[in-house]
Structure 1
Amino acid sequence: MTLDSPLPNGGSRRPVLIVGGGLVGASLAIALDAAGCPAILVEAAAPRVDAQPSYDERNLALARATVNGLDAIGVWRHARGGATPIRQIHVSRAGEFGATRMDAGREGVDALGYTLPARELGAGLLRRLDECTQLTRLAPATLETMEPLDDGWRAHIRTPEGVRTLDVALLVGADGTTSSVRKQLGIEADTYDYEQALFVCTITPERDHAGRAFERFADGGPVAVLPLAEKRCGLVLTVPAEEADAVAALDDEAFIDLAQQRFGWRLGRLSRPGKRFPYPIKRVAAAQLVGRRAVVIGNAAQTVHPIGAQGFNLGLRDALTLAELIAPVADPGEAALLAEYAARRAPDREGTMAMSHGLIRLACLEQPLFGPLRSLALLAFDHVPPLQRFIARRGMGFRGKPPRAVLERLP
């Protein structure tokens, strides 16, 4: 089975097969549809809009560039109702005197980014997917096997009705950290175990967060607090892996005491922690982003430490860059295009991965001699305007050569 669509100047486009209907895969499908490019999206689970809020849901910190990109592909209008602006980011380390702040007003923008429940973004993506006209969605469905063709791939897709065979020009793996597509392509991945576990939940602080997000480092790992609607906050608490079971067993009062000890009292007394479960933290980096008529994006390409909330932000820039390069061509799988994609993504990908990895290795290092140096570095970022702007722009997602969809006019 082939699904081709006409090009404006004659000829036809051959479809792109996207395996993985998560946040990044769905975003790519929407971006391709907006560009008039046919695509097939294989989703492991049947789509479902979850309109029921939850006090223990996962929250996403969306960089300003990410919001620009979601707006450009028509998703933000469906999701923005649940978003909370981040107007300031405060970074510090427990027991040390240095701190730095990124401020939206100082950068001439109304917000550095937004906090959004993952449920809200997922629902917005599903609503936008329903508007697509160039997209074929197979859900629930899984990729069983694939065979190389001279001009693409023959993919065998398992659906409830049986196996469907599709011939496509380009195969995109957007199927997460343990990507089956990456493995079937023979792309190796380097894994680094941080020996840490992550707890995510929603809390209520005594004081108004006033649009402030906090990142606080300590020997045991970072703690992040994100602003949410109704004066709530999202808490991201990292602990050493050997303590994960003990922390998971804490009752609400004991867990809040731990969070308070790790975060401090900048927002007063914390209360009402939601349900939480430990998630092991590993860094997984694909040895290459492209193969023969194939690409891996999002977590399939790189899974980074959640510090700085860079995972989806980086993955969306993958998706939008790929869509930008595919839009004007008849053959989305040509080798030169994929080589250009890999080159375009390298500075952003490598810089973001180095930043997140380096921060964990240095900011959480149990070495008292580094304390004054860390504090001086934070003070420099806070008081030297060129450094402020350098860090703020990267925090907002403007790194390397971003896709055009995320750009804006900045002072």
Structure 2
Amino acid sequence: MNVHESPALNEPGVLIIGGGLVGASLAIALDTAGVAATLVETAAPRADAQPSYDERNLALARATVNGLDAIGVWRHAAARATPIRHIHVSRAGEFGSARIDADRQGVDALGWTLPARELGVALLRRLDECTRLTRLAPATLDALEPLRNGWRAQVDTPHGRRSIDTSLLVGADGTNSLVRAQLGIDAERHDYRQTLFVCTVTPERDHANRAWERFADDGPIAMLPLAERRCGLVLTVAADQAGAVAALDDAEFIELAQRRFGWRLGRLSRPGKRHPYAIHRVAATRLTGPRAVLVGNAAQTVHPIGAQGFNLGLRDALTLAELIATAADPGASGLLERYAARRAPDRDGTMAMSHGLVRLACLPQPLLGPLRSLALLACDRVPPLRRALARRGMGFRGEPPLAVLERLP
């Protein structure tokens, strides 16, 4: 299956540029709501061809899994997911820590871990079930022309150029969004000068469905529970050390990870293939333009601390689909204003949290140590703070889309 077309390419509707994790989720959510849409994706419709369906191990918040279940994706992924029932947050060399437990929150899991590639496979299977969706893949957006009531997109496919008119243009095309640039929307950028290495490891002790987030002067390190007693390691290093870390052999890399993480899980061993990712923060200065909107990484790319990227992007997609489902005109200015207003508290709060954590929790200032430890202890032992931390950790913040509030079967 290479190119998907239908006779409705020039009927006004929703045009989504970008078929990664968020763009595909939006397309499925619209189809679930009975809204016709066209999805344009540069990669062929295969998990091994889509860059965002990679080797990262995603930590999916409970709200995210509720949303994926509501749009029919989770049934294709649940068997390969691992529940997170405990979260432990600490800082190396300091006494404070915060713990969140599913039992204390009255839920079976705070979230689930799932390899991005497995989520990609589930999305592709669900896309194949859609009945009101036109998929163009592989296809590339070449040009955009504003119309009186929408946009005309020129899209290149292996079978020639296609002209697509739309009443709502959605940019879901990632951090370096062409749609964002074409709309003339600026983006604020911050280079953290850090590189993330992800791989799997085997701990000596059972992870007991616990996720660990540990801060240090060198950056955060996380350990995520996976199936078969494996863990997903997320190790942050300074960007100028990335080359040296990439050159380490397995034994040397495990020694570094052990030193950074500690011995709570015993000895670490059997590292899988390492994948480096440079870390940047990119935030669009606005989310909407005339009959156009940005979602996911095109709207905001956040530091991976706390695993907020896809979770935040899915809430973008589900909120937009919810508003479109009951609208006569999906590109109406009032609808887009409501979308931006609904997303602002969640978006601003999540971005401020991720940016503030990496700047404060990893700042090498010994005088801040007692304050950081006291803050973690307060989150651990003061019930209202603990509940607020747990609720945000499970993805319930701002005015969430209704889909994420539905209970899992």
Interval of TM-score (by shorter of Structure 1 and Structure 2): over 0.9
For the residues of structure 1 that align with 2:231 and 2:253, how far apart are their CA atoms?
A: 15
Q: Return the offset for 1:134.
A: 0.5
Q: Does residue 295 of structure 1 match 2:293? A: yes
- Tell me, yes or no, if structure 1 residue 350 matches structure 2 residue 348: yes
Identity among equivalent pairs (%): 77
Counterpart for residue 113 of structure 2: 115
Q: Which residue of 1 aligns with 2:3?
A: none
> Could you report, residue by residue, the CA deviation over 1:134-161 in whole angstroms, capped at 9, with x for unpaired residues?
0000000011001011111010000001
Matches for 1:8-407 after TM superposition, within 5 Å? 14-49=12-47, 57-407=55-405
Where 2:227 maps in the other structure, the secondary structure is coil
Shift of 1:198: 0.5
- Structure 1: state its 5+ residue gaps: 6-12, 51-55
- Give 2:8's aligned residue: 3
How many Å separate the matches in 1 of 2:371 and 2:344?
30
One-letter amino acid of the structure 2 residue matched with residue 197 of structure 1? T
- How big is each residue's C-alpha offset from its partner over 1:111-132, in whole Å with a ceiling of 9 and x where there is no partner? 0000001111100000100010
CA contact (8 A) 2:55 2:275 kept: no
Following superposition, the deviation at residue 353 of structure 1 comes to 0.2
Q: CA contact under 8 A between 2:9 and 2:164: conserved in structure 1?
A: no
Alignment deviations for residues 354-391 of structure 1 (CA, whole Å, 9 cap, x no partner): 00000001100000000011011111111000000000
Shift of 1:330: 2.1
Q: Is the 8 A contact 2:60 2:113 kept in 1?
A: yes
Equivalent residue number for residue 51 of structure 2: none
Distance 1:396 1:29 in 2: 24
What amino acid maps onto 2:8 in structure 1?
Answer: L
Work out whether residues 174 and 296 of structure 1, in 8 Å CA contact, stay in contact via their aligned partners in 2. yes
Look up the equivalent residue of 1:69 and give its one-letter code: G
> Conserved in 1, the CA contact under 8 Å of 2:111 and 2:394?
yes
Name the SS of the counterpart of 2:151 in structure 1: strand
CA-CA distance at 1:3 after TM superposition: 2.9
Measure the CA separation in 2 of the matches of 1:30 and 1:279: 28
Kept in 2: contact 1:191–1:282 (CA 8 A)? yes
- How far 1:278 moved relative to its partner? 2.4
SS of residue matched to 1:14: coil
Q: Which runs of 5+ in 2 are unaligned?
A: 1-5, 49-53
For the residue of structure 2 that corresponds to 1:235, the secondary structure is: strand
Q: CA deviation at 1:279?
A: 1.5
Kept in 1, the 8 Å contact 2:220–2:305? The answer is yes
Amino acid at match of 1:247: V
* Alpha-carbon separation, structure 2, partners of 1:371 and 1:400: 30
Per-residue CA distance 1:226-247 (angstroms, 9 max, x = gap): 0000000000000011111110
SS in 2 for 1:307: coil
Task: Letter of the 1:185 partner, please give it.
Answer: L
TM-score by length of 2: 0.95
The count of corresponding residues between Structure 1 and Structure 2 is 399
- Give the aligned residue type for 1:325: L
Computed over aligned residues only, the root mean square deviation of the Cα atoms, in angstroms, reads 1.6
Q: Is the 8 A contact 2:9 2:165 kept in 1?
A: no
Equivalent residues of 1:2, 1:167 under 8 A apart: no
Mapped partners of 1:397, 1:18: distance in 2: 24
SS at match of 2:77: helix
CA deviation vs aligned residue, 1:195-227 (integer Å, no higher than 9, x gap): 111001011101000000000000000000000
**Deviation of residue 280 (structure 1)?**
1.1
Say if 1:98 and 1:376, in contact at 8 Å, map to a contact too: yes
* Contact in 2 for aligned 1:14/1:332 (Cα 8 Å): no
Shift of 1:346: 0.2
Q: TM-score, normalised by structure 1?
A: 0.95
| Segments ≥4 residues shifted beyond 2 Å | 1-5
Q: 2:237 corresponds to which letter in structure 1?
A: V
Measure, in 1, the Cα distance between the counterparts of 2:39 and 2:47: 17
| Local SS of the residue matching 2:359 | helix
SS in 2 for 1:309: coil
Q: Deviations over 1:251-300 (max 9, x none)?
A: 00000000000000010000111121322111000000000000010000
Give the AA of the match of 1:368. P
**What is the distance in 1 between the residues matched to 2:345 and 2:406?**
20
What's the CA shift string for 1:58-117, capped at 9, x where partnerless?
A: 210000000000000000000111000000000000000000101000000000000001
- Alignment partners' CA distance in 1, 2:178 and 2:62: 31
Structure-1 separation of matches of 2:34 and 2:126:
15
CA distance in 1, matches of 2:7, 2:189: 37
Once residues 277 and 74 of structure 1 are traced to their aligned partners in structure 2, the CA distance between those partners, rounded to angstroms, is 30
